[in-house]
């Protein structure tokens, strides 16, 4: 227990640990977890990677199963989709019929940030030689997925999204300009389900959703042909989240490969490619990494928490630290997904201001590994305070901490167990230097 944990009693810590484990159990659907009941009734890609990390703190076999089930939904071309529809559920839109991917089990037609390889490395570190056979079974599927990214999503050395949902940051201001050119006026009639579960003020707007559906319809109409999507798709934006998460995932997959005796030369070349491309995302005006519209070449001018994933990706940009310090000073709770001085800031609307525990975990871990331990500790403490005071919400108001979005959320519970809780061994990295190989 670190020096700043005295404000949480041992009984409170035990109760929070217990409740977090209960949430993972409640959201377990037998081999995979849903993010939360009702709002998200299927298996989501990067949510499952965090779920695996949570399970790993008390049930390593179940943690491995989570990732095995996720990768079991991969496509022949290597892509791991952002949703796997294991069971029918009318409570979510758009469902399998709207995506029209003709897969078994049904899936969406896009992907999400590839946290899975990083989770595999963490599980292998916990499990040791006993986990090598399970890691080996996942290595090739992960390699194929990473190869798919480098073939179909690489532009000027960085990773692109073709739908805001791919980024995991659906309505972030990063996409505003690029999405404005997406025509949502001719889509088929639909009924949103998300606003039946959550206050509409906490969700993307109707105009956002029309454009989201238009992008899905484009993909379906072209049978999810990546050649067509690359050449003609309405949206193609270079994304800091995808770029830094994949850069880290490459490093972690290579580390796993070395343990397994694999030749990692191809992965090493991918790492060099992304490292060379990262400077193209730097925005001198915001002093941060920014999204860039590939079609127009224009930077988004959006300072988001995704910029601070640079350290997670292994990029230690000195100029970015001052920007982070400014953001940390701007709200009582860290790290807001968009800063409060922006006209586009909305403190409870999804990715336009709220704090996300999973992003905090990645940001703080990267900071600690690069020796920026004061900022790492501040972010971990803030995350701990939010969860202790407001529960395991999907996200939180950065001004007053109000819980927002879904409740009893899998990845928030997982992040508590494996990083934010005073009992979490991974949180010890906040006071340690970078580990070899990161």
DSSP per-residue string spanning 111-141: -----HHHHHHHHHHHHGGGGHHHHHHHHHH
- Helix, strand, coil shares of the chain, percent, nearest 5, are 55, 5, 40
User: Residue 307, CB half-sphere, CA atoms under 13 Å: how many?
Assistant: 37
How high is the pLDDT of residue 433?
A: 40
Cis peptide before 275 (omega within 30 of 0): no
Sign of the dihedral defined by the CA atoms of residues 256, 260, 266, 272, in that order? positive
How high is the pLDDT of residue 432?
A: 47
Q: Could you tell me how far CA 409 lies from the centroid of its own chain? A: 14
How high is the pLDDT of residue 198?
A: 85
Collapsed DSSP state (helix, strand, coil) of residue 298: coil
**Residue 314 phi, psi (nearest 5):** 95, 15
Nearest to 165 by CA among 333, 47, 331, 335: 47
User: Residue 258, CB half-sphere, CA atoms under 13 Å: how many?
Assistant: 11
* Number of domains into which the chain is organized: 1
Question: Residues near 75 by Cβ (< 8 Å), separated by ≥ 6?
Answer: 81, 103, 107
How high is the pLDDT of residue 90?
A: 86
| Residue 378 CA: distances (Å) to CA of 140, 361, 365, 418, 434 | 38, 12, 12, 17, 18
Q: Is position 373 within any domain?
A: yes
Q: Within 10 A of 429 (CB to CB), how many other CB atoms are there?
A: 22
**Burial track 113-125 (b if 16+ CB lie within 10 A, e otherwise):** bbbbbbbbbbbbe
Q: Is position 384 within any domain?
A: yes
Nearest to 48 by CA among 140, 114, 136: 114
| Residue 127 CA: distances (Å) to CA of 56, 134, 427 | 9, 10, 18
Q: Is position 248 within any domain?
A: yes
Contact between residue 172 and residue 320 where contact means Cβ atoms under 8 Å apart: no
Q: Is position 239 within any domain?
A: yes
Q: Is position 438 within any domain?
A: no
CATH code, domain carrying 109:
1.50.10.10
**Residue 288 phi, psi (nearest 5):** -160, 165
Q: Which two tokens stand for residue 87?
A: 């069971």
- The residue ranges of the chain whose pLDDT is under 70 are 1-7, 427-438
CA separation for the pair 248, 253 (Å, rounded): 9
Q: Is position 257 within any domain?
A: yes
CA separation for the pair 209, 8 (Å, rounded): 41
Q: Is position 437 within any domain?
A: no
Angular region, 401: left φ>0, alpha ψ -120 to 50, beta rest: left
Tell me the percentage of the chain whose pLDDT exceeds 90: 90
Range of the domain at 62: 3-431
How high is the pLDDT of residue 425?
A: 82
State the catalytic residues: 170, 394
Collapsed DSSP state (helix, strand, coil) of residue 299: strand
- Return the residue matching tokens 């992040």: 415
């Amino acid at each position: 227990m670190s020096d700043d944990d005295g404000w949480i009693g041992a009984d409170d810590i035990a109760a929070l640990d217990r409740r977090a484990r209960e949430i993972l159990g409640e959201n377990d659907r037998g081999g995979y977890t849903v993010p939360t009941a009702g709002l998200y009734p299927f298996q989501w890609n990067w949510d499952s990677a965090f779920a695996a990390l949570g399970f790993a703190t008390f049930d390593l076999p179940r943690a491995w199963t989570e990732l095995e089930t996720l990768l079991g939904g991969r496509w022949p071309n290597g892509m791991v989709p952002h949703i796997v529809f294991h069971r029918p559920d009318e409570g979510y839109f758009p469902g399998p019929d709207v995506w029209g991917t003709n897969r078994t089990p049904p899936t969406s037609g896009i992907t999400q940030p590839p946290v899975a390889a990083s989770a595999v490395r963490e599980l292998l570190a916990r499990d040791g030689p006993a986990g090598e056979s399970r890691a080996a079974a996942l290595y090739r599927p992960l390699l194929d997925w990473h190869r798919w990214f480098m073939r179909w999503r690489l532009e000027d050395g960085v990773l692109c999204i073709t739908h805001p949902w791919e980024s995991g940051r659906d309505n972030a201001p990063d996409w505003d300009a690029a999405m404005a050119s997406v025509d949502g006026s001719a889509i088929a009639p639909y009924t949103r389900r998300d606003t039946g579960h959550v206050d509409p003020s906490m969700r993307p707007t109707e105009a956002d959703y029309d454009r989201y559906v238009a992008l899905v319809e484009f993909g379906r109409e072209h049978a999810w042909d990546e050649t067509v999507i690359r050449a003609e798709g309405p949206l193609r934006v270079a994304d800091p989240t995808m770029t830094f998460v994949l850069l880290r995932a490459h490093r972690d997959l290579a580390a796993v490969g070395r343990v397994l005796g694999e030749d990692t030369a191809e992965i090493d070349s991918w790492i060099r490619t992304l490292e060379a491309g990262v400077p193209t995302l730097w925005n001198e005006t915001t002093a941060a990494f920014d999204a860039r519209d590939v079609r127009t070449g224009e930077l988004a001018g959006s300072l988001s928490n995704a910029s601070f994933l640079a350290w997670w990706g292994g990029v230690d940009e000195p100029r970015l630290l001052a920007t982070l310090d400014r953001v940390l000073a701007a709200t009582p709770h860290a790290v807001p997904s968009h800063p409060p001085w922006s006209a586009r800031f909305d403190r409870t609307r999804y990715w336009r201001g709220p704090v996300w525990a999973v992003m905090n975990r990645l940001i703080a871990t990267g900071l600690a590994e690069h020796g920026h331990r004061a900022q790492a500790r501040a972010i971990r403490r803030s995350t701990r305070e939010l969860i202790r005071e407001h529960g395991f919400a999907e996200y939180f108001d950065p001004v007053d901490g109000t819980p927002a979005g879904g409740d009893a959320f899998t990845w928030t519970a997982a992040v508590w167990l494996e990083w934010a809780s005073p009992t979490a061994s991974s949180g010890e990295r906040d006071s340690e230097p970078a580990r070899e190989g990161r």
